[in-house]
Structure 1
Amino acid sequence: MPSLSFSHLTLAWPDGRPVIAGATGTVSTGLTALVGANGAGKSTLLRILAGEITADAGSVQRPPHLAYVPQDVALTAPARADAVMGLASVRAALRRIEAGSVDPADYDVVGDDWDVEERASATLASLALPPDTLDRTVGELSGGEITRLALASALYARPDVLLLDEPTNNLDGQAAAQVLDALVERQGATLVVSHDRRLLARVDAIGEMRRGQLRWFGGALADYEAALEAERAHAEQEVRTAKADVTRQHRELRTHLEGAARRSKAGAATAADMPTILAGAKKRQAQMTQARVTGVHEDRLAAARSRLEEAEDAADRDREIRVDLPDTAVPARRDVATLRECRLRTGTVVNALVQGPERIVLAGPNGSGKTTLLRTLLGDIEPEGGTATVHVPAGLLPQRLDVLDPALSVVDNVRARAAGTSPHEVREGLARFLFRGAAGDALASTLSGGERLRAALASALLARPAPQLLVLDEPTNNLDFASRAHLLEALADYRGALIVVSHDADFLDQVGVQRQWRFDGGRFVDEPAGAAPPA
């Protein structure tokens, strides 16, 4: 099968900042993943491979037929799905032939594609889209359905190489599973940017983007993480060795300086009995020797510190978030939120009670009303009947992390939500979210994806009054591994009630959800977590 190969790709932004430095690789038959921190250049590399942008240097060898589906699919609302898949003219010709047309032009349009609708329906079904999708417009589809339609269009075309950017984002559990099955089963080569652990567990190889460099690892997620752990353990040992060397060199320099001071004092006493010229010469010689030896020790110390910096840089340790949040604590039987005969705009009636520090997952298919329920609970939408009441201060971490004012610094964003808190207190709190010193003065608009997550978390959790109910809407979408770990660390210290919308089963296990709210055929169901699988 044809493959995609690229060699020594290099790209820098107009201001000179490097994005990709010498990326080389081959994408062959099977499923290959591209991972890395937010902002590491994964999507940019995909766009270069797709031919959307041109690298400053390097080469790309593309197969005859390549398809690319970006993360944010842009399809016009009036367009019909069959037109998006490139089937509109063939379907129209088939309809005319079925109605009795003998026009050779219609037969030319159909060509050998007499089974076009059956094949298209099979492709749509493999992605959990019904056959009548072909007759619907883009404007009639949900965001998740639009993503799957774009993927269906690419799969139907049977490209030699398929490039995908976060294809399972915003998909419910069943839809994501079907997309994954379709990718695993497809013939040809597929390169996918993803942080979805379910997908990464089934890939054949993983490429990691880190600081512009691309490295390749054979195997799936477990093999990749094992390799990283081995590297991390070695790097940590190098850090410990370098720290010990810095301590030793510092001690030797101090010992040398203390000895030099004693010798200087003794030399001054001896020089008192010498002729002035001879004493001066000996003093100058001693000073030169001391300066030379001191310089040697200082150079050794500087070299040891440099090795320590390099070792710490190689370790690439993402410091952990550790946040003490006593004001978020909620007693076990305290009412946190109540929904009584609450009729949502979708028509679903909800009766539910949140008490104490419960952790609840809100599940259901895309478009079933999860976000509507959250917005109604938080007062952004009025219920069409009944009541939705939150009895404690609440905080929200939305899916798009758009709670920050881009024109304000991180410090000022947090202060805006923490009335009466001094700048010093805010900075102390932000330090626990890894915003230390000048990092807190950075404008929100300049933050990377991982920094934006930490800033949004700090903005929500350091608010005054402290949130005793925290609502998270698909919090792990687009998060790299380090940012995901930071989110889990912060939630481990959170003592209030938690309502989370997520299709990330591994994340939900680590968060420790106890109950599940789900939408089932227009009904609202409140049950223990694990009683039924999320739709």
Structure 2
Amino acid sequence: MLTIQNLSYTHPDKTLLFSNINLTVNPNEKIALIGNNGAGKTTLLRIIAGELQPSDGILKTDTNPYYIPQIFGQYDHLTVAKALQIDQKLRALHEILNGNISEKNYDLLNDDWTIEERCSTALNEWQLNSLDLSQKIETLSGGQKTKIFLAGISIHQPELVLLDEPSNHLDIPARHYLYDFIENTKCSLIIVSHDRKLLNHLNMVCELDKNGITVYGGNYDFYKEQKQIKANALAQDIQSKEKALKKAREKERETIERRQKLDARAKKNLSKAGLPKIVANTWRNSAEKSTAKIEGAHSEKTGNISQELQELRSYLPEADKMKFGFDHSGLHQGKILFTATNINFSYGNDKYVWNEPLSLRITSGERVAIKGTNGSGKTTLIKIILGNLTPQTGIVSVPESRSVYIDQDYSLINNKLTIYEQTQQFNTSALHEHEVKIRLNRFLFTKEDWDKPCTTLSGGERMRLMLCCLSIADQSPDIIVLDEPTNNLDIQNIEILTQTINEYQGTLLVISHDETFLEQINIQRIIGVN
């Protein structure tokens, strides 16, 4: 169905993205394509879809792939029918039914007499039964856009489907419907996703990096097990090499000290023996050369071991290289931070956001998830909790506290600033420049990164910079609000975020459809809105 051999891609600026890509996709195979941000996952999907040309290599396929991208902005000016590429068929069908039986209409329809029925069925399957095919894509929510293109699979009935982060904007019910589709479809699938529940419905994991693809013959849990085995072996190798380096340095020190003692004793004996000056000088030069030779041999040995150790450490996951040093909220556990009684909110259209008024209380130290379907008012509730909106009904009490709101785009990062300038915005305790740069290094921003503009950062880099800024602030916020924080992160950066959040001891409010993430950050209770 699909064969890729020795494929490579180089950016227009001559930067190599990846090379030596080899992959075979057989009928009914369901493949997860994973890799760090910037590895080229989306680029590879676009090459398979025919949107980009590879720099080198061979790509053979006997079918037309159906590609669902991660970003839909390029379709905003189109109608739903045109974005799904069914507008001409539908127009031809209606013209034929109205008596215009031209050859052009028959060619456009291509005997696809069930196209309208399939459209209706497919849209109903994704709860889009009230959608008008003439509606512009720009009028739809992110979740609706995703559902439209997922419905397109049933409409077009392709043999090979390429999906780039398909669950990003879906609420939990829609995600579960997507999981069922993946389980039951006869299509071959290649899916880029950080949704670990979704990845466990696939039967092969392909990990992409610049040097090629490593194939793991199982689902995501199997992949993690294999990676853990490798990680344990790497940790043992590092520990063994650290012991060897310590032993080599101790041996070097002992040998040099022993030699220095022997030289001092010999020098003392020479002075007592009353030998001619030329003989003493010759002996002294010989002793110095011998000491230098010994020092050089030991230095070379320790240098080689140190280099090997550094190389081994370079294979560590990013999270293992980072040092968080995350501060905690200064509030005592259990202090009331927000109280609401019978609240509701309207955006001026005489329609309230929630079917029933809400009553709730949030206390310091809690870990709370706010759950609801798309459009149920989760973000509205967050804005009320933070004091940015006032409800039209009910009573709220919001005692003074320090809070920070982190959305999926990490919008607190100012794109007009450099990385270093951004950290200075949070440097309320007047840390010295070198101390700020030490913190940046802890979050994997090296000297080469400090003057980069924030606008060039990936989702994962923006997340790490945001966490770095919070660690630099004089005191961590009392409340951290995360609004779909994992949407634009790869799995590695989700693990970094998870590890950091688990070190934080303040109050946590989270909106997320990523059930695995919610489990791993130890959510204590759920506030449901509808």
Both proteins in one fold, TM over 0.5:
yes
CA separation of 1:312 and 1:384: change in aligned 2, threshold 3 A: same
1:139-185 Cα shifts (integer Å, max 9, x gaps)? 33211111222233355323343222111102101112222332333
The CA deviation at 1:221 is 0.9
Shift of 1:233: 0.5
Kept in 2, the 8 Å contact 1:330–1:496? The answer is no
Q: Which moved more, 1:208-217 or 1:300-309?
A: 208-217
| Distance in 2, Cα, partners of 1:213 & 1:337 | 54
Give the deviation of 1:421 after TM superposition: 4.0
- The 5-angstrom pairing of residues 271-350 of structure 1 reads 271-272=270-271, 273-316=274-317, 318-319=319-320, 322-338=324-340, 341-345=343-347, 347-349=352-354, 350=357
Aligned to 1:526: none
- Identity of paired residues, percent? 26
- C-alpha displacement of 1:434: 2.9
State which of 475, 480, 494 in structure 2 corresponds to 1:484.
Answer: 494
State the distance in 1 between where 2:360 and 2:517 align.
Answer: 24
For residues 169-208 of structure 1, the aligned pairs below 5 Å read 169-208=168-207
Q: Distance in 2 between matches of 1:209 and 1:312?
A: 20
Residue 91 of structure 1 and its aligned partner are, at CA, apart by 2.2
1:128 & 1:276 partners in 2: Cα distance? 101
Q: Which residue of 1 aligns with 2:369?
A: 361
> Cα 1:299–1:108, aligned 2, differ >3 Å: closer, same or farther?
closer
Which runs of 5 or more structure 2 residues have no equivalent in the other structure? none
1:483-506 CA-to-partner distances (Å, cap 9, x unmatched) read 222222222233333221111112
Q: Deviations over 1:277-336 (max 9, x none)?
A: 444444444333333332221111111111111222234462265545333535314233
CA distance in 2, matches of 1:280, 1:429: 50
Contact 1:471-1:499 within 8 A present in 2 as well: yes
The counterpart of 1:351, out of the listed 343, 350, 358, is 358
Q: What amino acid sits opposite 2:275 in the alignment?
A: M
C-alpha separation in 2, matches of 1:174 and 1:241 = 49
Alignment-mate amino acid for residue 313 of structure 2 = E
Q: Which residue matches 2:26?
A: 28
Question: Residue 382 and residue 100 in structure 1: after superposition, are their counterparts in 2 closer, same or farther (change >3 A)?
Answer: farther
Cα contact 2:67–2:163 (8 A) shared by 1? yes
Map of 1:221 onto structure 2: 220
Give the partner amino acid of 2:484: E
Match in the other structure for 2:450: 441
- Equivalent position of 1:467 in the other structure: 477
Aligned residue type for 2:353: T
Q: Distance in 1 between matches of 2:289 and 2:468?
A: 55
- Name the structure 1 match of 2:415: 406
Q: In the TM superposition, what whole-angstrom CA distance separates every residue of 1:409-466 from its partner, at most 9, and x where no partner exists?
A: 4454244245354347973994696357748835434444333212223435654664
Residue 476 of structure 1, CA deviation? 1.6
1:296 partner amino acid: A
The amino acid across from 1:472 in the alignment is L
User: Once structures 1 and 2 are overlaid, which stretch shifts more, 302-311 or 138-147?
Assistant: 138-147
Shift of 1:190: 1.5
Distance 1:338 1:498, change over 3 A: farther
**Cα distance between partner residues in 2 of 1:54 and 1:86:** 22
Name the TM-score, length of structure 1 as normaliser.
0.86
Check whether the contact 2:326–2:471 (CA below 8 A) recurs between aligned residues. no
Q: Could you say which residue in structure 2 is the equivalent of 1:7? A: 5
Q: Distance in 1 between matches of 2:99 and 2:501?
A: 66
- After TM superposition, list the pairs within 5 Å mapping 1:387-402 onto structure 2: 390-391=398-399, 392-402=401-411
- In the aligned structure 2, how far is the partner of 1:21 from the partner of 1:67? 24
**Which amino acid counterpart does residue 302 of structure 2 have in structure 1?**
L
**1:69–1:150: 8 Å Cα contact kept in structure 2?**
yes
CA RMSD of aligned residues (A): 3.1
**Structure 2 length as normaliser, TM-score?**
0.87
Distance 1:466 1:78, change over 3 A: same
* Larger CA deviation: 425-434 vs 368-377: 425-434
In 2 relative to 1, CA 12–299 (structure 1 residues): closer, same or farther, beyond 3 Å? Answer: farther
Q: What amino acid maps onto 2:464 in structure 1? A: R
Distance 1:433 1:307 in 2: 22
Note the alpha carbon deviations across 1:180-209, whole angstroms, 9 max, x for none. Answer: 332333333221111101111111111112
Q: CA deviation at 1:118?
A: 2.0
Q: After superposition, what is the alpha-carbon deviation per residue over 1:205-251, rounded to whole angstroms, capped at 9, x for unaligned?
A: 11112455421111001110000010001000100111011111111
| SS of equivalent residue, structure 1 residue 318 | helix
